[in-house]
Amino acid sequence: MPNPVFSSLPTSIFQHMTVLALKHDAINLGQGFPDQDGPISLREVAARQLIDGPNQYPPSKGLLVLRQAVAAHGAKFYGLDYDPEDEVLITSGGTEAITGALMAMAGVGDEVVMIEPTYDSYRPMAEAAGAVVKAIQLGPPHWRLTEQALRAVITPKTKAILINSPHNPAGRVFSREELDVLTRVVTGTNIVVICDEVYEHLVFDGRAYIPLASLQGMRERVLRIGSAGKIFSLTGWKVGWVTGPRELVSVVTKAHQFLTFTTSPALQLGVAHGLTHEMDFTLALTARLQKNRDVLSAGLSKLGFEVQPCEGTYFLTAGITKLTNEKDFAFCERLIREAGVALIPLSSFFQSGTPDTFVRFAFCKQQYLIEQSLDRLNTYFAKT
């Protein structure tokens, strides 16, 4: 018998909607990937390395030059202090980093707290490791994390809390008050907090991003995860990292050595170059995304979507009850087929007790595509 954790899973919603979008020639505001590749200089450095070599296994924990660049990035932006020698681990993308961190922190019978809506890979990977997932549900429009909700799921068996901020799909950036709540709840316990911070730079309206690891007393219990794909609009590169105290990172490193062992040396060098020389690209990207968010939310509001606040990430969520009686999934499939715009139903990010009247729009595209999508939706809803 195959493992039911995986055999019972549908194909990922992102893949499903992208395949349908291609079939119906729809604009893909579903799967979150930019339509323009990031800086040429990263690609040139990587290409040169591919040609010149060597192309053999780099060290399992990553090339030193990239580990140094990741440590310097954390120090420069947030004053975080990690030793590149053994407190930085390079992984094949943020998703591998999350899986490695989950496997390293929680085994059979241990409990892991997750915050729904949750990214689709989190739950199955924790369950495949034998852990039990305890979910807290956040609700629209504020998607706020409360002390009461957190305390209600913590037990003596809780080994880890997995938190994503800026949050996909809610577009939330957890506030200082919410991070303080989390800090209060875990202080005095042995709980480790795994922070998926892959959208750390994509934060809007002049907000400062505060990593949980930078709060008093938290460095020692936080595994902080980052991703070059999101920082440099190179999502297909799958280069990510984990930083944290050496006692925890060393265990994630053991999981990583058997998950992927290592990551393409050419791509690692490209990313090291980017973190050192191309952070202006990321700041400009954030400004472009903020503009897209504004164009999209204004257009959607006019159409009757109930647009929710969006503080960061690639994503905007909106309620659909003024437009349809359908559930989110059916609505999304209809829009792909009939309006030529692909979205993601929010119910895919919940296990149970699901709000099923919300959709997610990815706005990490050129502005003209956002405008074209709005035109298509306008034309479609004018007819129906």
Positions in the binding site for ligand GLN (CB under 6 A)? 12, 14, 31-32, 168
Q: Quick one: 93 or 245, whose CB is closer to ligand GLN?
A: 93
Enumerate residues 6+ apart whose C-beta is below 8 A from 238. Answer: 92, 93, 95, 96, 229, 263, 267
Closest distance between ligand GLN and the C-beta of residue 91, in Å?
A: 15
The DSSP letter of residue 340 is S
Q: Quick one: 21 or 248, whose CB is closer to ligand GLN?
A: 21
Q: Residues 190, 194, 198, CA angle at the centre, nearest 5°?
A: 165
Q: Which token pair is 329?
A: 């999934």
Q: Quick one: 93 or 265, whose CB is closer to ligand GLN?
A: 93
Closest distance between ligand GLN and the C-beta of residue 12, in Å?
A: 6
Question: 3-class DSSP state for residue 218?
Answer: coil
Check: CB of residue 162 under 8 Å from CB of residue 186. no
Check: CB of residue 210 under 8 Å from CB of residue 222. no
Instruction: Give residue for tokens 């053991």.
Output: 254
248-284 in b/e burial notation, b at 16+ Cβ within 10 A?
Answer: bbebbbebbeeeeebbbbbbbbbbbbbbeebbebbee
Q: Which residue is nearest to ligand GLN (CB)?
A: 32
Closest distance between ligand GLN and the C-beta of residue 32, in Å?
A: 3
Q: Quick one: 32 or 58, whose CB is closer to ligand GLN?
A: 32
Closest distance between ligand GLN and the C-beta of residue 195, in Å?
A: 16
Q: Quick one: 163 or 218, whose CB is closer to ligand GLN?
A: 163
How far is CA 138 from each of CA 210, 250, 278, 292, 329, rounded to the nearest angstrom? 20, 32, 35, 25, 20
Q: Which token pair is 62?
A: 């990553």
> How far apart, in whole angstroms, are the C-alpha atoms of residue 209 and residue 203?
7
Closest distance between ligand GLN and the C-beta of residue 168, in Å?
A: 5
Closest distance between ligand GLN and the C-beta of residue 226, in Å?
A: 14
Q: Quick one: 182 or 343, whose CB is closer to ligand GLN?
A: 343
Q: Quick one: 71 or 310, whose CB is closer to ligand GLN?
A: 310
Closest distance between ligand GLN and the C-beta of residue 355, in Å?
A: 18
